[in-house]
Amino acid sequence: MKKLLLISVAAAVAFGGENLLVGAGGGYKKPVTEVIENLKKDGVQIEGAFANLGQITIQAKEGKMAAIVGDEAFLMKTDLDIKGYERIGKGALVLVTPKGKQIKDVSELKNLAKIAMPDSKKAIYGVRTTEFLKNSGLEADLAPKMLPVAGVPQVVAYVTNGEVDAGFINSTEAVAREGEFGSVIYIDEALYSPVFISAAKLAACEGNEACAKFIDEIKTPRSKEIFAKYGLK
C-alpha cells in the first residue's frame, strides 16, 4: 500500500512536467481536487499529488512541489523551506464504523476487535489519534486492537469494506462520505491538539505566477465554499 502511494505521487510529479504541483494530505484530496479543477478551467496548469504528509514531505524535498495543503503543526516540524502559510480551516478527528455496526460512545471501543488508524508518525490524523488514545486513558486497552495503515483514505477503505470494526478519520472524509458509515462520532477536541489546515508555500512558489493564483484561489468565495462543504471552516 505504501509503495503504491509513493508511486502515485511520483507519477503526479512526472505527469505535471512544467505544471504547478500542489501536494496535500490524502484526507483532503476531494476539496483540493475541486479547487484545482476550478483553476484548470481558468487556464492554470496545475496538478495535485496526494498521500500522507510524511510521504508528501519526502517528495517536496526534491524541489518540484510549490505548495502543500496540510496540518500546520506537522509541517512546522519538518525541515522544509516554508516561506509562509495561508490558513484554510480547522479539521476534526472522527471515529466511524461500518454500515450496520453502531456504537454511541468511544468507551465502546473496548468491546471491538479491530480498529484502523492512520500512520501515527507520518499522517495528520494518526498523530491526533495517538494523542486521543493517551489523553482519554484508552491507550492500554486499545493498543492490541489498533491497525495502523498509511492514511485516512486507507482507513476509509477498511471501514467501508467491513474489514475493521471502526476507524479514525478526518471530518472532511466523514462529510464527503455521509451515508457510507454506521456511526460517526466526533472526538472531543480537548483530547487532541488542534488541526489547522493551511497551504504552505515552498521555495518553488516564489515568483511562480501559477502558485500565486493557487494561493489567491483558496481565499476566494468559491473555494471557501468548497472547503466548508467538506467540514473545513
**136: its cell numbers:** 482519554
Of 61-65, 93-97, 195-199, least confident by mean pLDDT is: 61-65
Is the pLDDT at 142 greater than 80? The verdict is: yes
* Distance (Å, whole) CA 128 – CA 133: 9
Q: How many CB atoms lie within 10 A of CB 15?
A: 11
Nearest to 199 by CA among 53, 64, 69: 69
* Distance (Å, whole) CA 3 – CA 231: 29
**23: its cell numbers:** 501536494
What's the fold here for domain 2-90+195-229?
D-Maltodextrin-Binding Protein; domain 2 (3.40.190)
With residues binned 3-state (H G I as helix, E B as strand, rest as coil), the percentages for the chain, rounded to 5, are 45, 25, 25
What is the arithmetic mean of pLDDT over 77-83?
A: 96
Confidence of residue 16 (pLDDT cuts 50, 70, 90): very low
Q: According to the model, what pLDDT value does residue 17 have?
A: 53
What is the arithmetic mean of pLDDT over 104-132?
A: 98
**9: its cell numbers:** 505521487
Query: Would you say 116 and 158 are in contact if contact means Cβ atoms under 8 Å apart?
Result: yes
Nearest to 181 by CA among 200, 167, 192: 167
pLDDT (tens digit per residue) in 38-53 = 999 999 999 999 999 9
pTM listed for this prediction: 0.89
Residue range(s) occupied by CATH 3.40.190.10 in the chain: 2-90+195-229, 93-191
pLDDT (tens digit per residue) in 169-194 = 999 999 999 899 999 999 999 999 99
Q: According to the model, what pLDDT value does residue 100 have?
A: 96
**63: its cell numbers:** 524541489
- Where are the alpha helices (H) located in 17-104, listed in sequence order? 29-41, 53-60, 72-76
Class of domain 93-191: alpha beta
Of 14-23, 136-145, 224-233, least confident by mean pLDDT is: 14-23
Nearest to 197 by CA among 99, 70, 37: 70
Query: Would you say 198 and 88 are in contact if contact means Cβ atoms under 8 Å apart?
Result: yes
Query: Would you say 33 and 26 are in contact if contact means Cβ atoms under 8 Å apart?
Result: no
Confidence of residue 13 (pLDDT cuts 50, 70, 90): very low
pLDDT (tens digit per residue) in 82-109 = 999 999 999 999 999 999 999 999 999 9
